[in-house]
Chain A
Amino acid sequence: MTTLSPVRPEGERPMGFADRLLSLPFVQRSDALRSFILGAWLGWQIESNWADPLLFAVYSFARPIASVMILVVMYSVITDGATQQPIFAYIYLGNALYIIVGGVLGGISWAVIDDREHYRTAKQLYTSPLVGYAYLCGRGAARLLIGAISTIIVTVFGVLLFGIPITIGSIDLPFLIASIMLGLTSLSGLGLIIGAISFQLGRNAWQAGELISGALYLFTGALFPLDILPPVLREIGLIFPATYWLEAMRRALLGTNMIGFPTFAALDNTAIAFILLIMSVGLWVSAAFVYRWSMRQAREKGVIDLETNY
């Protein structure tokens, strides 16, 4: 996965798999598909480019587990060890899944600033026929992959150690697949909007995606059911797709073990999926407009290849 020496041995071509995908005739003809695959390939090279594989493992696995452990400890102290309560599984899963939210939102907008300010390759990229939004989604996909691995590890950890009640029988597979797809579509739409706006901003936008996902963390039901919040603040969560996605994923994984928390008790699975679908469409349509607008603005102001000087 990572190379320690700067020189790769002859014959070892890390682009092998991507190369095969890119050689498919329909991929070769589509600017967007090529851009997505190359973005993902490049993103993976960047994300997994740790000089020390141990550090990579710590960052990707140990850190998320540690942060969930903090929650577990806090929860246990407050509730006197009541990890059998349904609220425990609710919080635990919410946090495991939120790693993905941060990954998708952050990955896309990070790539914009990373290319421009760190690698200083924006000029090279945006004079080639790459399709910007597809490329950025690809970069986000690499981050997503690492986030997803963390989420899976943290979840398995929770099932084995804390008895989070996920079993073969509790998983609603069709709903799980639908939730994952709808969640990723809506979140990437939002990520693209943040990424597109980042083109207008300087280096300060470096963490825009992380900041936004961090700021919304409290309002999405990752940490506690929305009902605890005053009604005004609750609304913030209700316009954010992650809120519905977390709910959908919990239901899909926990099945009947998921005791309906009052927030969405009135909505059945189909209704939740439908809301996510509407949000996906709305966000992608908006993203298309915002992206076009932002690229035009950037060309007008001459900031596509902006490098912030300090």
Chain B
Amino acid sequence: MSSTPLAIETHDVRRIYKIRGGKRKGEAKTLIALDGVSLEVPRGELFGLLGPNGAGKTTLIKILATLLLPSSGTAKVDGLDVTTQTQEVRRRISMVSGGETSGFGLLTVEENLWMFARFYGLDNKTIKSRLAEMMQMVGIYDRRSTKISDLSTGLRQKMNFIRGFISDPSVVFLDEPTLGLDVTAARDVRGFVKDWMAQNPDRTLLLTTHYMAEADELCDRLAIIDRGKTLICDTPENLKRRLQSETIFHLKIQPLRKPTSPENVVEAVPGVRSVTIADQTDFSELRLSLQGEEALPAVLSHLSGRGSGLLSLEKREPTLEDVFIQLVGRRLDEDTNLNGTGEER
């Protein structure tokens, strides 16, 4: 294909959900899950979506995977419109959600994968060789004749993960693929993703994750999205480079007695750009972003003046997490869903 169309292209995609069961009767409540998202992902790219809970990542993936229609805007996969050319899009894509432990429990692993491969029109020989290879790669080959209902959730997840690749799709959507997997299994999955991408330069993969390290390790480029809007889109290196002018320290301190929030207190110190704090049981973890190292002594004396002793201090290179905090204003594990609306699923 000479004039390669973009693998994924969205233009000003908005998605509005109607919320059932509003407080007062007759009141039509709506929620804007996506608020004008425009993305361009060329073929061959491993693209990441980062965002806090409720940011709209799953909604975007569902639109691209033809499960959901955008309320306005256009979305294309492989140059095909997801709204109108549904069947053609489905031939080329696959979607796997992390924590997806569902399946036809009465089928064996092999039968289930065979069935899905057949939906895509693969022939028997291809199915057999591909299945055996993929099952071996993620380590469920020796469980291929086990019924799905008798698998552990992690193994089911691995099976569903393979299902996403069995048809050799040109675009794969992975929604939090390592969610709930143990460390080794998550590493297997990441390894699989990298190998799969390396095998063919035309393959494209879009993934969402809550793990910054995973995004950093895997993604060629990533977009940070919050409240339905893309805040930025760049390579992990460029994103981190934005923060070169900042100096980042991690502090462990004795817990602050709080009449006022410690963040506010420290933020008032001159030279401090931003502070986040995570309270552990017997200490507090502070992440400080300073204009320069010279601002540190003032912060430390401020803390000790408030009766909080320093337990440890560490200077750090900027990470994606720091980029995220700078842009979104809070850590990834803090929730967007302040309006307390319906849960997904």
Q: Name A residues whose Cβ lies closer than 8 Å to a Cβ of B.
A: 6-10, 14-15, 19, 22-23, 28-29, 31, 34-35, 38, 41-42, 45-46, 49, 119-121, 123-131, 296, 299-302, 304-305, 307, 309
Q: How far is the CA of A302 from the CA of B63 in the complex (A)?
A: 9
* Residue from the list B67, B116, B118 in contact with A126, Cβ < 8 A: B67
Contacts of B124 in A (CB 8 A): 19, 22-23
State which residues 158-215 of B face A: CB under 8 Å. 160, 163, 167
- Select the residue from A9, A22, A29, A125 with max chain B CB neighbours within 10 A: A22
- 8 residue pairs bridging A and B, Cβ less than 8 Å apart: A19-B124, A31-B121, A34-B121, A35-B119, A125-B119, A126-B66, A129-B119, A302-B62
A304-B67 CB under 8 A given contacts A23-B124, A34-B119? yes
Contacts of A129 in B (CB 8 A): 87, 90-91, 119-121
The stretch that binds A, out of B41-49, B144-152, B264-272, B299-307, is B144-152
* Residue from the list A6, A15, A119 in contact with B102, Cβ < 8 A: A119
Q: How far is the CA of A269 from the CA of B145 in the complex (A)?
A: 52
Per-residue interface assignment for chain B, residues 56 to 74, with 1 indicating a CB less than 8 Å from any chain A CB and 0 otherwise: 0000001001111100000
A45-B107 in contact (CB<8A): yes
B121-A29 in contact (CB<8A): yes
* Residue from the list A23, A123, A296, A300 in contact with B97, Cβ < 8 A: A123
A121-B68 CB under 8 A given contacts A34-B121, A35-B119, A129-B120? no
Contacts of B94 in A (CB 8 A): 127-128
Contacts of A7 in B (CB 8 A): 145-147
State which residues 88-143 of B face A: CB under 8 Å. 90-91, 93-95, 97, 100, 102-108, 111, 114-116, 118-121, 123-124
Q: How far is the CA of A123 from the CA of B95 in the complex (A)?
A: 8
A38-B119 in contact (CB<8A): yes
A299-B68 in contact (CB<8A): yes
Contacts of B97 in A (CB 8 A): 123
Q: How far is the CA of A126 from the CA of B93 in the complex (A)?
A: 11
CB A274 to nearest CB in B, in angstroms, measures 35
Residue in A closest to B101 when the chains form the complex, CB atoms = A120
B95-A127 in contact (CB<8A): yes
A299-B66 in contact (CB<8A): yes
Residue in A closest to B125 when the chains form the complex, CB atoms = A23
B115-A38 in contact (CB<8A): yes
Is B23 interfacial (CB 8 A cutoff)?
Answer: no
CB A201 to nearest CB in B, in angstroms, measures 14
Contacts of B68 in A (CB 8 A): 299, 302, 304
Q: How far is the CA of A87 from the CA of B62 in the complex (A)?
A: 57
* Residue from the list A14, A41, A123 in contact with B67, Cβ < 8 A: A123
Residue in A closest to B59 when the chains form the complex, CB atoms = A302
B118-A22 in contact (CB<8A): yes
CB A67 to nearest CB in B, in angstroms, measures 27
A307-B345 in contact (CB<8A): yes
CB A89 to nearest CB in B, in angstroms, measures 40
* Residue from the list B108, B111, B149, B163 in contact with A124, Cβ < 8 A: B163
Contacts of B90 in A (CB 8 A): 127-129
* Residue from the list A23, A41, A126 in contact with B115, Cβ < 8 A: A41
Q: How far is the CA of A121 from the CA of B65 in the complex (A)?
A: 15
- Select the residue from A49, A121, A129 with max chain B CB neighbours within 10 A: A129
* Residue from the list B95, B103, B119, B145 in contact with A8, Cβ < 8 A: B145
Residue in A closest to B104 when the chains form the complex, CB atoms = A119
Q: How far is the CA of A125 from the CA of B120 in the complex (A)?
A: 11
B67-A119 in contact (CB<8A): no
A38-B95 CB under 8 A given contacts A6-B147, A23-B124, A45-B106? no
Residue in A closest to B82 when the chains form the complex, CB atoms = A299
B67-A130 in contact (CB<8A): no
CB A132 to nearest CB in B, in angstroms, measures 10
Q: How far is the CA of A131 from the CA of B121 in the complex (A)?
A: 12
Contacts of A305 in B (CB 8 A): 67
CB B133 to nearest CB in A, in angstroms, measures 19
B123-A46 in contact (CB<8A): no
Q: How far is the CA of A296 from the CA of B68 in the complex (A)?
A: 9
A302-B67 in contact (CB<8A): yes
Residue in A closest to B92 when the chains form the complex, CB atoms = A129
Q: How far is the CA of A28 from the CA of B118 in the complex (A)?
A: 8
Q: How far is the CA of A210 from the CA of B292 in the complex (A)?
A: 73
A120-B102 CB under 8 A given contacts A7-B146, A14-B111, A28-B121? yes
Contacts of A14 in B (CB 8 A): 111
Q: How far is the CA of A119 from the CA of B103 in the complex (A)?
A: 6
Contacts of A309 in B (CB 8 A): 345
- Besides A46-B104, A123-B67, 13 new A-B residue pairs in contact (Cβ under 8 A), listed by A number: A8-B145, A28-B123, A31-B121, A34-B121, A49-B106, A123-B100, A124-B160, A127-B66, A128-B90, A128-B167, A129-B119, A130-B119, A302-B62
Residue in A closest to B122 when the chains form the complex, CB atoms = A28
A31-B87 in contact (CB<8A): yes
The 9 nearest A-B residue pairs measured at CB = A120-B102, A129-B90, A129-B91, A49-B106, A128-B119, A6-B150, A299-B69, A6-B147, A130-B119
Q: How far is the CA of A244 from the CA of B234 in the complex (A)?
A: 66
CB A109 to nearest CB in B, in angstroms, measures 18
Contacts of A22 in B (CB 8 A): 118, 124
A8-B115 in contact (CB<8A): no
